[in-house]
Chains A and B, each alone.
Chain A
Amino acid sequence: MPDTQPPAYRRPAPATQPAYDSPAYGSTHLRHPKAPLLRMPHTLSEVTGPRMSQGAYPAEADMTRLPNGRVVMGERIIIGGRVLDEDGRPVPGAMLEVWQANAAGRYNHPRDTHDVPLDPDFTGRARVFADAEGRYSLTTIRPGAYPWRNHHNAWRPVHVHFSLFGAGFAQRLITQMYFPGDPLLALDPVFQATPDAAARDRLVAKFDLGLTVPEHALGYRFDIVLRGAAATPFEDAGHDDEGH
C-alpha cells in the first residue's frame, strides 16, 4: 500500500447511530433505502476531504449581535466544547456550521410558518473552527421548542443543528445538540432513533459553570466526536465486522 493513503475510518460501534428506517419518524418511511448499503473499503475518495480555511469560509461566532447593531431577543448562551476523534485526539481546523430556531421556536426560513414571532434580523446561523486542541466556542440564544406534524401534539425538543467537516469526507457529520432536562427528549422520535442510551446522552449538552461568563451568558458544553482511524489501515475492508 502506498504511503500516500491515510488509514481507513472505523466502523460505527453497534447501536450508537440511528437507522435510516426509523418508523416513529414519519419522514423516513419513503426516504430510507430498502436495499442494503454497499459496504466498501475506504479509498482516497473517502479519506480525503475539503480543507475549509477561514480565508474562504469566514468565521461568524456570535449569532446575537447583528450587523445593524441590534442584539437579538432571547436568553444569551455560550456553547463550547471540543471536536475529537474516537481516540480522543483533537481534530484541529474542523469547520462547524451551526443553525437554529429563534427564542420563540421559529426558523428564519420561508417554510417555517409556526405562529410565533420572527426576530426579523436573526439569521440563526454561525460558523466556527476548532483550534489546535479541537476547542470551539460560539455565542447564541437558547432556541425555543416548536411543533411539527410527525404525530399528534408533536414538539421538537430544544435543539441546535451542527454540521462538521473533519479531515476526511467519511467523517462528515450533521447532528443536533439538545439541552439537559428537556422533557420532550423522551418523546422525540429523532432523538430516540439512536438505540444506545449513552450515545443519546452524548447529544445532550451539559451546563458548564466554567464556560459561563459572569454577568453575560450561561455556558453549555457540547463535545463532538468524529470517526477515528481504524486500528490497522484497511483491515476491515470488505469484511462484515458487525458484532465484533
Chain B
Amino acid sequence: MTAATAHQTAGPYWHLIDFPEWADLLRAGGPNEGIPGPRITLTGRITDGAGAAAPDAMVEIWQADAAGSYEPPFHGFGRCAADADGVFHFTTLRPGSVPGLGNASQAPHIVLAIFARGLMKHLVTRAYFAGEPRNAEDPLLAAAGPRAGTLIAKETAPGSWRLDIVLQGDGETVFLDV
C-alpha cells in the first residue's frame, strides 16, 4: 500500500485552470441546460484571520440535483474564482435532500472546496439553506453544535443565497475533516 500523494497549495496562479463559465452550472450550452429545478445563486465572501479578503481563492462546488440525486444527467460541479473583494458567485439549482448513513437523510446542501495560496490542502465545508425544515434533523448540522450557523446560507432576495467563509478566528467557518 502506498499512502495518498501529499497535497500542495494551489498557489496564487491557479487561474491558468480558471474557466469562468464553470461558475454558472445552468449556462446555455453547458452540461445542465434544460434540467429542471429551482434556479438559485450562491454568493459569499472569503476572509482571513485579519478580516482581509482572499482575492486569490478558488471555490469549487459539488451538489445533487433538485431531486437529491448525484447521478447524471445533472452535473453538479462548478468552479469560481474569488474576485478582488474575495467574493465568489455560482448559479445553480437548489439541491434536494440526499440520503445519509443508514436510514438517515441529509438536509439539502452544497459541498464547497476552497483552494488558495496559504492553504496547503483545500478546505471543505457545506452550504445549507436557512429556513429549510430538514435542517433540524441533519446529522452534520447537529454535530457542528453552536457553530452550525456558519454552514447555513441566508436568502438575501428570492433565490439569492449568501454564505460568507471565514478562514480563521471570530466566526470561523466550520471546516470538515473529510
Chain A residues with CB under 8 Å of B14's CB are: 99, 161, 163, 174
User: What is the CA–CA distance of A99 and B19 in the complex, to the nearest angstrom?
Assistant: 13
User: What is the CA–CA distance of A174 and B56 in the complex, to the nearest angstrom?
Assistant: 15
Q: How far is the CB of A164 from chain B (nearest CB, A)?
A: 8
Binds B, one of A43-51, A131-139, A213-221: A43-51
Known contacts A20-B120, A30-B48, A50-B62; A199/B6 CB under 8 A: yes
A129 within 8 A of B: no
User: What is the CA–CA distance of A234 and B101 in the complex, to the nearest angstrom?
Assistant: 9
User: What is the CA–CA distance of A101 and B106 in the complex, to the nearest angstrom?
Assistant: 43
CB pair A202 B16 closer than 8 Å: no
Query: Is chain B's binding surface mostly helix, strand, loop or mixed?
Result: loop
Chain B residues with CB under 8 Å of A44's CB are: 64, 70, 98-100
B158 within 8 A of A: no
Chain B residues with CB under 8 Å of A12's CB are: 3-4
Binds B, one of A70-78, A165-173, A179-187: A165-173
User: Which B134-152 residues have C-beta < 8 A from chain A?
Assistant: 140, 143-144, 147
CB pair A174 B115 closer than 8 Å: yes
Residue interface mask A112-123, B partner, CB < 8 A = 1: 100000000001
Chain A residues with CB under 8 Å of B76's CB are: 50
For A85, the closest partner residue in chain B by CB is: B4
Number of contact residues on B: which range applies? 35 or more
CB pair B101 A237 closer than 8 Å: yes
Q: How far is the CB of A231 from chain B (nearest CB, A)?
A: 11
Q: How far is the CB of A197 from chain B (nearest CB, A)?
A: 11
A152 within 8 A of B: no
For A176, the closest partner residue in chain B by CB is: B8
B154 within 8 A of A: no
Q: Residue A30 contacts which of B17, B70, B102, B167 (CB distance < 8 angstroms)?
A: B167
Q: Residue A19 contacts which of B106, B120, B172 (CB distance < 8 angstroms)?
A: B120
User: What is the CA–CA distance of A29 and B1 in the complex, to the nearest angstrom?
Assistant: 34
Chain A residues with CB under 8 Å of B49's CB are: 29-31, 34
User: Which B43-68 residues have C-beta < 8 A from chain A?
Assistant: 48-50, 52, 54, 56, 60, 62, 64
B111 within 8 A of A: yes
For A84, the closest partner residue in chain B by CB is: B2
Residue interface mask A10-32, B partner, CB < 8 A = 1: 10110011111010011111111
CB pair A37 B7 closer than 8 Å: no
CB pair A86 B120 closer than 8 Å: no
Chain A residues with CB under 8 Å of B168's CB are: 30-34
Q: How far is the CB of B168 from chain A (nearest CB, A)?
A: 6
Q: How far is the CB of B79 from chain A (nearest CB, A)?
A: 10
CB pair A199 B3 closer than 8 Å: yes
Q: How far is the CB of A24 from chain B (nearest CB, A)?
A: 11
User: What is the CA–CA distance of A17 and B121 in the complex, to the nearest angstrom?
Assistant: 9
A142 within 8 A of B: no
Q: How far is the CB of B16 from chain A (nearest CB, A)?
A: 4
User: What is the CA–CA distance of A13 and B1 in the complex, to the nearest angstrom?
Assistant: 11
Residue interface mask B99-122, A partner, CB < 8 A = 1: 111100010010101011111111
For this complex, 16 residue pairs linking A to B, each with C-beta atoms less than 8 Å apart, are: A5-B99, A25-B120, A27-B9, A31-B49, A33-B173, A40-B140, A86-B2, A97-B17, A111-B56, A124-B16, A163-B17, A172-B122, A174-B115, A175-B8, A225-B5, A227-B4
Residues of chain A having any CB pair with chain B under 8 Å: 1-2, 4-5, 9-10, 12-13, 16-20, 22, 25-46, 48-51, 56, 84, 86-88, 97, 99, 101, 107-109, 111-112, 123-125, 161, 163, 169-170, 172-176, 190-191, 193-194, 196, 199-200, 202-203, 224-228, 234, 237
Q: A38-B174, A43-B99, A50-B77 are in contact. List 8 more A-B contacts (CB 8 A).
A: A4-B99, A30-B49, A30-B50, A49-B77, A99-B17, A108-B16, A111-B12, A234-B101
* Closest CB pairs A-B (n = 5): A27-B118, A50-B77, A37-B177, A31-B118, A99-B16
